Amino acid sequence: MTTRYKTKAFIFKKKEINESNRNFSVFTEEFGRMEIFAKAIRKNASKLRNGVDIFNLSEIEFIQGRNRKTLTDAVAIEKFSTIPQDLEKFKIANAVGEVLEDFIKGEEKDREIFNLLRETFSRLNNQNAEKGRRARIYYYFLWNILSLLGYKPEVDKCATCRSNLNPLDIYFSNKSGGVICKKCLNHDNAARKINSDVAKVLRLILKKDWQTISRIKVGPSSQKLLEDISDTAVHFFCPAHC
Ligand SMILES: [Zn+2]
């Protein structure tokens, strides 16, 4: 008899296979990342059609075949319906999907990553703030998932010599593992000068203090710095060399 598995899943990528089939990349509560084949889902009469779509959280049921998992049932739990209607939100959701795609390859259950995704998508769905503040939803996700994957940066002391930081003269180094002081700058020629606002945002993100992060003012130059060090971290740690 075929065993049917049931779990909650975030759909972060969809790929059309041919005229009627689709493949979904999902992050599930019970099994971590998986690829699921959805047969005949593009046909109008498909009962699966309404239950799974990109950036939905769905309850899915599947069977494990020799070469692939096939979707047998799906019910959407949360559709996060404002995301596809808003280009900026859609871009952020895509960026989250790309991080999952590049950083998580094998199946491994991770409830904390699952919860982080749930928190990120709900926040994105409900957020009506302006662009700069919305981007913080992505940075919150990014630095917290990097931490869960073992790349948590040091932000309270110099990551190299452990001395206290002078907030007026600080740098960020992925190679050294976080914020470093001027004396330690020679350990990494790719280190980037940052400022105390960026260090503060990173500290709040790693403390998961969303209340404060969503409220504080961050100037455009600090916002740009945050964007730069986040992009650099993705490239530095990406196992797929993305
Ligand atoms: Zn140092």
pLDDT given at position 131: 67
Cα radius of gyration (the chain) = 20
β-sheet with 192-194: strand ranges across: 178-181, 170-173, 192-194
Q: From ligand 1's centre to the CA of 195, what distance in Å?
A: 16
**Separation of 161 CA from ligand 1 center, angstroms?**
4
> What pLDDT is stored for residue 44 in this prediction?
77
Could you tell me if 10 and 51 are in contact, meaning their C-beta atoms sit under 8 angstroms apart? no
Q: Please give the Cα distance from 78 to 55 (Å, whole number).
A: 9
As a whole number of angstroms, the distance between CA 10 and CA 52 comes to: 9
Domain residue spans in the chain?
4-78
Ligand 1 centroid to 239 CA: how many Å?
27
Distance of CA 4 from the midpoint of ligand 1 (Å): 54
pLDDT tens figures, 48-84:
888 999 999 999 999 999 899 999 999 999 999 999 9
Q: How far apart are CA 69 and CA 3, in angstroms?
A: 11
Q: 231 C-alpha vs ligand 1 centroid, how far in Å? A: 23
Confidence check: pLDDT of 242 > 80: no
Closest CA to 73 of 36, 43, 99, 25: 36
Task: Write the pLDDT tens digit of every residue in 157-191.
Answer: 999 999 999 999 999 999 999 999 999 999 899 99
Angstrom distance (rounded) from CA 118 to CA 113: 9
Q: Report the separation in Å between the CA atom of 155 and the middle of ligand 1, taken as the mean of its atom positions.
A: 12
What's the average model confidence in pLDDT over 205-229? 94
Model confidence pLDDT, tens digit, residues 82-140? 999 999 999 999 999 999 999 998 889 999 999 999 999 999 999 887 766 889 999 99
**If you measure from the C-alpha of residue 203 to the centroid of ligand 1, how many angstroms do you get, rounded to a whole number?**
18
Q: What's the 225 CA to ligand 1 centre distance in angstroms?
A: 20
pLDDT for position 43: 83
Q: How many whole angstroms from 179 Cα to the centroid of ligand 1?
A: 9
Instruction: Note the pLDDT of residue 69.
Output: 96
**4-78: which CATH number, 1.10.1130.10, 1.10.357.20, 2.40.50.140, 2.60.120.10?**
2.40.50.140
Cβ 176 vs Cβ 188: under 8 Å: yes
Residue 144 has pLDDT above 90, yes or no: yes
**Cα–ligand 1 centroid distance for 217 (angstroms):** 28
Indicate left, alpha or beta for 153 from its phi (over 0: left) and psi (-120 to 50: alpha). beta
| pLDDT, mean of residues 5-29 | 95
Q: How many CB atoms lie within 10 A of CB 185?
A: 16
Give the E-state strand segments of the chain in sequence order.
Answer: 4-16, 22-28, 32-38, 57-64, 69-78, 170-173, 178-181, 192-194
> Rounded to the nearest whole angstrom, what is the distance from the C-alpha of residue 181 to the centroid of ligand 1?
4
DSSP per residue over 161-230, as a string?
T-PBP-TTSEEEETTTTEEEEGGGGGG-TT-EEE-HHHHHHHHHHHTT-HHHHHHS---HHHHHHHHHHH
Evaluate if residue 207 carries a pLDDT over 90: yes
How far is ligand 1, taken at its centre, from the CA of residue 235, in Å? 24
Residue 67 has, within 13 A of its CA and on its CB side, a CA count of 0
Distance of CA 220 from the midpoint of ligand 1 (Å): 27
Q: Which amino acid is at 230?
A: S
How remote is the CA of residue 3 from the centroid of ligand 1, in Å?
56
